[in-house]
Amino acid sequence: MTDMVSVKGLNKVYESAGRRVEAIGDITFSVARGEFACIVGPSGAGKTTLLKCLAGLLTPTAGEVLLDGVPVTGPPPGMAVVFQEYGRSLFPWKTVRQNIDLPLRQKKLPRAERDRLVTDSLGAVGLADAGDAYPWQLSGGMQQRVAIARAVAYEPQVLLMDEPFAAVDAQTRADLEDLVRSLWRSLGITTLFVTHDIDEAVYLGERVLVLSASPTCVLDDVPIGLPAERDQVTSRSTSAFAELRTRVHRGIQDAKAGRRTSGAAA
Q: Which residues bind other proteins (CB under 8 A)?
A: 14-17, 19, 21, 23, 43-46, 48-49, 52, 55-58, 74-75, 77, 79-81, 83, 85, 88-89, 91-94, 102-103, 105-107, 134, 136-137, 150, 154, 214
Cβ 62 to other proteins shortest distance, Å: 16
Q: Quick one: which of 156, 144, 236, 152 has its CA closest to 197? A: 236
Cβ 16 to other proteins shortest distance, Å: 5
Given the complex with other proteins, which of 105 and 111 has the nearer CB atom? 105
Given the complex with other proteins, which of 58 and 174 has the nearer CB atom? 58
Residue 237 DSSP code: G
3-class DSSP state for residue 159?
Answer: strand
Given the complex with other proteins, which of 28 and 106 has the nearer CB atom? 106
3-class DSSP state for residue 266?
Answer: coil
Cβ 40 to other proteins shortest distance, Å: 15
Q: How far apart, in whole angstroms, are the C-alpha atoms of residue 93 and residue 83?
A: 18
Preceding amide of 103 cis, omega within 30: no
Cβ 89 to other proteins shortest distance, Å: 5
Q: How far apart, in whole angstroms, are the C-alpha atoms of residue 97 and residue 101?
A: 6
Given the complex with other proteins, which of 52 and 230 has the nearer CB atom? 52
Longest dimension (CA), the chain: 55
